Amino acid sequence: MSGGTLATPFTELVGVRYPLVQTGMGWVAGPRLVSATANAGALGVLASATMTVEQLRAAVREVKSRTDAPFGVNLRADAGDAAERVDIVIGEGVRVASFALAPSRELIARLKDAGVVVVPSVGARRHAEKVAAWGADAVIVQGGEGGGHTGSVATTVLLPQVVDAVDVPVVAAGGFHDGRGLVAALAYGAAGIAMGTRFLLTSDSTVPDAVKARYLAAAVTDVTVTTKVDGLPHRMLRTELVDALERSGRVSALLFALRHAAAFRRTSGMSWGQLIRDGLAMRHGKDLTWSQVLLAANTPMLLKASMVEGRTDLSVMASGQVAGLIGDLPSCAELVGRVMAEARATLEALGDLPRVAPVPREARTHPVLRAD
């Protein structure tokens, strides 16, 4: 770290000052948050899954009007209109394309040929190996502490696995909120960290105040993982809705899913057939009930109820466990500055530690730390 920057293979790849990523959270990562993050020197990522194609185009242009810094767009590789969205990313000169699901080899090649940096998010070593072999420029690896759809392996176990398995920059996600975490990730071999919940809880986030207050009031134990929403492990705040779904039987769950699916269909203009096809596409080989298939397709509406409409009762609030450690709402500039100052102080403190002499092999059954 020198001056006001911290250069890593990831910052050099995407052209940002700091190895920090604001993740592409649906209904949250809009132009205001993304541009504020980019202007602060980190990589902001625009969430496109909850936008129409034309809304995405307008959002990209709004970000460009607010900042000259690099930013990214998060895409759904399995979306029916993925090709149109890729056209926008390429045509508008977006620097980074990120993906929640693995993009195809052909999609990666098309983006890279156009000069776009491809950064898929993964939750397992084998997924990282696959996308790296297909040409991905970097990967974001999320451990089980992360919000939204998540796995069961902790970041501290998954991250070194992935770092050892691939030759591209690895960005760590899941459980990060400060400079100490950044230094820890770098020590594991990562080239940066990605944060969702921490950027959601900033003054630049457009999430309603009542919802932010619910996050700020949460303890670590108020963040749970449930499969009742869409059949997949989903980390979120424990709310009245989550409690109701976990208590519900199949009939009541189906009625609930039908009501929300009808609302999503009206908003999105999708047919019932399209809804069901989308829900089935999200099954990932799981044996889901019909209520879970419908909820999988219209989970965006459950998120919208909280992140846009401010509902804290009948909504989904995806959250990392780290929500229980966050107690304020800084601006993105304040947050990034704080994280980097903490990282700098942590590195300096580590530099002040006495050096430890290597222990001879024959003495390693009785380890002793010895200062030079």
In a domain, 156, yes or no: yes
Residue 294 or 54, more confident:
54
For residue 9, give the nearest of 194, 186, 199 by alpha carbon: 186
Number of domains observed in the structure of the chain: 2
Structure tokens at 269: 């203009």
Range scoring the smallest mean pLDDT among 10-19, 73-82, 271-280 = 271-280
**Model confidence at 212, in pLDDT bands (50, 70, 90)?**
very high
**Model confidence at 5, in pLDDT bands (50, 70, 90)?**
confident
The edge-to-edge listing of strands for the beta sheet with 234-237 is 148-149, 234-237, 223-226
pLDDT tens-place string over residues 305-355: 899 999 888 788 999 999 999 999 999 999 999 999 999 999 999 988 887
Provide the CATH number for the domain around residue 23: 3.20.20.70
For residue 317, give the nearest of 181, 251, 223 by alpha carbon: 223
Is residue 165 located within the same domain as residue 63? yes
Q: What is the pTM of this model?
A: 0.87
Q: Which domain covers residue 123, as residue numbers?
A: 9-208+327-349
In a domain, 370, yes or no: no
For residue 317, give the nearest of 254, 237, 252, 250 by alpha carbon: 237
- Strands 96-99 and 71-75 turn out to be parallel
What is the pLDDT, as a whole number, of residue 369? 39
Q: Is the pLDDT of residue 244 over 70?
A: yes
What is the pLDDT, as a whole number, of residue 370? 39
Is residue 105 located within the same domain as residue 19? yes
Q: Is the pLDDT of residue 282 over 70?
A: no
Other Cβ atoms within 10 Å of 93 Cβ, number: 12
In a domain, 186, yes or no: yes
Is residue 94 located within the same domain as residue 27? yes
Q: Is the pLDDT of residue 210 over 90?
A: yes
Structure tokens at 88: 């926008």
Residues 99/79, Cβ–Cβ less than 8 Å? no
In a domain, 341, yes or no: yes
